[in-house]
Amino acid sequence: MKINVTLPDGSVRQYEEGVSAMDVARSISEGLARNVLSAKVNGEVRDAGRPLPGDCTLQLLTWNDAEGKATLWHSSAHLMAEALEALYPGTKFGIGPPIENGFYYDVDFGDRAVGEGDFAAIEAKMKELAAKKEVFTRKEVSKADAIAYFTQKGDEYKLELLQDLPDGSITFYTQGDFTDLCRGPHLPDTSPIKAVKVLSMAGAYWRGDEKRKQLTRLYGITFPKQKELDDHLALLEEAKKRDHRKLGKELDLFTFSEKVGAGLPLWLPKGTALRERLINFMKNAQERDGYQQVATPHIGGKQLYVTSGHWEKYGKDSFRPITTPQEGEEFMLKPMNCPHHCEIFASRPRSYKDLPLRLAEFGTVYRYEQSGELHGLTRVRGFTQDDAHLFCRPDQVKEEFMKVIDLVLLVFRALSFEHYEAQISLRDQVDRSKYIGSEDNWNKAEQAIIEAAAERGLRTVVEYGEAAFYGPKLDFMVKDALGRRWQLGTIQVDYNLPERFELEYVGSDNGRHRPVMIHRAPFGSLERFIAVLIEHTAGKFPLWLTPEQAIVLPISDKFVDKAQAVTELLKTHDIRASVDERNEKIGRKIRDAELAKVPFMLIIGEKEAEAGTVSVREQAHGDLGAMTPVQFKELVDARIAQQMAGI
């Protein structure tokens, strides 16, 4: 019997029945065979060594495929487990999956203390075992046999996992002396695992349940080549250098105070200047798009949130209400701006001619976050959203969406986030019971989002069941300079709040209609956005945004007056500049300005004082030569225009 195997390029090859993906690879080339880690057969990832099931489509997976990497890392998790069992007999094993960058294994060392000091030994053992070219053997076992095996081994975690598995679908994988309950797939053998690093360890609850025992989670990563491991470690090192918490301190952007409280950032003058510039940028863009700024207080009556439904849903996990001393009235710190904005909408009768009504506010909101979850500026308890609510007719949703998409893309371009994608979150395809709003409106809105995204040429993924109960949404993800993904802006349709606040407008038919509300925040929150921006740019902000564009460096005390005069001149030309008046040598001043990432250094000595020029040095680039302050201003303008080209 022959079988037909269809390869990704569409070609069909014939093989004897029982042929494996690896055999197919070898028939194409030995080099390819050496690189095959696993195979996708009819869309399912399987061991490369397993016989093909018959006529099928086949994609050979290598290190260049995400699934190939996952296979290598999954097998590496088993390899680490084998090493741990060899080094620490009696260790019990939870689960050990591959993850985005590497893998982990949750283990129970019992009373044994294993720490970071033991990583080197674990790595050495893993390399030793990998070099033995141990073969991964797949075996189907009955549930009874599987239970017997782990009972004898005394591994209660695996026994618990087995309970949930139906008989007949259970497979074991064995390499060397280690056998694990596993669905697979795995590498043919351990030899592709060449470079090994155990990265970190942390506690993790068994099955993510905080009431259950905490296991030790060991994170690791492996590569087929040492060079790739070195590169990866260098990337981690670079990420550490760019950590916004570290750079925020070094660049004097923000700080935290124990007295003020955890998760409550204090913005320093330079950081505030940065914020203000982002805010103005957004305000200008929004003004062009017909938004109107509003301002609302930081607190709101508890009843407001009872009406909005947030009290019921989040009240108990939120900051407690504050009360007035005499009357005992309850107020909440506002966790969002929308209820306030709904009341502005409701403050007077609205006509369909008024719509869309776009109310924008840089509103600072307060949300209780668990103490363990706070993290720099990316997870805080008080933050400012570039919030706006668009009240519109159902037929306006699509157009409004497109305009908001344009606004988000404008932000990405202005801040050179070149890689981004969007996620469209729609209703669960089957269960529609949990959603509020009419079937008709949902269909319209979902369709509107899909079409708007398509018309703007967005790269999107559609996720069913990810919509909020009150409406579908579109979230933007950017990739930063190190390839890390961050979720930033969001656009959400909301049928719930107009309903709860009984918002209405009078239509052309003179009847009352319910508006649709769109929440949107292109930055998301300023705090989070700035954190991402810091890490993306390594603290070297675009010229239009940076707090200090130029620093004037007098060669000696004699030229301080001249330097100050130049600085004043630059300031009148809207260039943000200051003077380094310290009694230091020029080399020192340059070094400090370089480290502070000030884009331009203007050096003034005898030559320049006489010629009425400044010598311009660009950060990280070097000397640009002498020019007049006005010429420098033109240079800055040209650079900004260049950065903002096409915006």
Partner RNA sequence: GCCUUUGUAGCUCAGGGGUAGAGCACUUCCUUGGUAAGGAAGAGGUCCCGGGUUCAAUUCCCGGCAAAGGCUCCA
Query: Could you list the residues that contact RNA (CB under 7 A)?
Result: 200, 202-205, 208, 210, 214, 217, 245, 249, 256, 258, 261-263, 310, 313-314, 317-318, 335-336, 338, 367-376, 379, 468, 555-558, 582-588, 590-591, 594-595, 601, 603, 605-608, 615, 617, 620, 622-623
Residue 322 structure tokens: 């504050």
Q: In terms of C-beta density within 10 A (0-12 exposed, 13-18 middle, 19 or more buried), how is residue 501 classed?
A: buried
Pick between residue 92 and residue 217 the one whose CB is nearest to RNA: 217
Q: Give the active site residue among 175, 286, 385, 549.
A: 385
Closer of 176 and 335 to RNA (Cβ) = 335
Choosing from 47, 118, 155, 387, which is the catalytic residue?
A: 387
Sheet with 600-604: list strands edge to edge.
577-579, 550-554, 600-604, 614-618, 622-627
Closest residue by Cα to residue 398 from 448, 458, 471, 455: 448
Whole-angstrom distance, CA of residue 479 vs CA of residue 532? 10
CB of residue 390 to RNA, shortest distance in Å:
15
Least separation, in Å, of the C-beta of 433 and RNA?
18
Q: Which one of 389, 398, 536, 562 is the catalytic residue?
A: 389
C-alpha to C-alpha distance for 87 and 107, rounded to whole angstroms: 13
Residues 6+ apart with CB under 8 A from 393: 352, 355, 356, 505, 507, 513, 515, 516
**Cβ nearer to RNA, comparing 52 with 593:** 593
State in angstroms the smallest separation of the CB of 311 from RNA. Answer: 8
Q: Output the CA torsion 319→324→327→329 (10° steps).
A: -30
Q: Who contacts 216 (Cβ-Cβ below 8 Å, separation ≥6)?
A: 106, 107, 108, 109, 114, 201, 202, 203, 204
Distance of closest approach, residue 170 Cβ to RNA, in angstroms: 24
Q: In what order do the strands lie in the sheet with 330-333?
A: 299-301, 330-333, 322-323
Beta carbons of 490 and 520 less than 8 angstroms apart? yes
For 468, which DSSP code?
A: B
Reference 560, options 549, 548, 568; nearest CA is: 568
CB of 141 vs RNA, minimal distance in Å:
28
> How far does Cα 56 stand from its chain's mean position?
37
Query: Which is nearer to RNA, 478 or 593 (by Cβ)?
Result: 593
Which residue lies nearer to RNA by CB, 422 or 590? 590
Phi–psi pair at 235, nearest 5 degrees: -65, -45
Whether 419 is a known active-site residue: answer no
405 in Cβ contact with 491 (< 8 Å): yes
Residue 186 designated active-site? no
Q: In the annotation, is 338 catalytic?
A: yes
Nearer Cβ to RNA, position 396 or 615? Answer: 615
Among 27, 34, 25, smallest CA distance to 59 is for: 25
Sorted by sequence, the CB contacts under 8 Å of residue 320 that are 6+ apart come out as none
| Smallest gap from residue 632 Cβ to RNA (A) | 13
Using the minimum distance from each CB to RNA, give the nearer residue, 130 or 201. 201
Burial of 150 (0-12, 13-18, 19+ CB in 10 A): buried
Report the C-alpha gap between 396 and 631 in whole angstroms: 48
Q: Provide the β-strand partners of residue 477.
A: 421, 487
Residue type at 3? I
Give the separation between CA 394 and CA 330, rounded to whole angstroms: 35
Give the Cα separation of 80 and 114 in Å (integer): 14
**Whose Cβ is closer to RNA: residue 227's or residue 607's?**
607
Tell me how far, at minimum, the Cβ of 119 lies from RNA, in Å.
13
Element (DSSP H or E) covering residue 218: strand 214-223
Closer by beta carbon to RNA, 40 or else 500: 500
Is 78 assigned a catalytic role? no
For residues 70 and 67, give the distance between their C-alpha atoms in angstroms, rounded to a whole number: 5
Smallest separation (angstroms) from RNA to the CB of 315: 8
Is 326 one of the catalytic residues?
A: no
453-278-479-621 Cα dihedral, nearest 10 degrees = 130
Q: Is 487 a catalytic residue?
A: no
Shortest reach from residue 566's CB to RNA, in Å: 13
389 catalytically annotated: yes
Q: Which is nearer to RNA, 371 or 642 (CB)?
A: 371
- Annotated catalytic residue within 74, 155, 180, 338: 338
Q: Would you state the structure tokens that stand for residue 160, as one six-digit string?
A: 């618990």
Indicate the Cα dihedral angle 86, 89, 95, 96, nearest 10°: -20
CB of 142 to RNA, least distance (A): 31
Residue 255 contacts residue 271 (beta carbons within 8 Å): no
CB of 587 to RNA, least distance (A): 4
Closer residue to RNA in complex, CB, 179/567: 567
Question: Which residues form the catalytic set?
Answer: 338, 367, 385, 387, 389, 473, 519
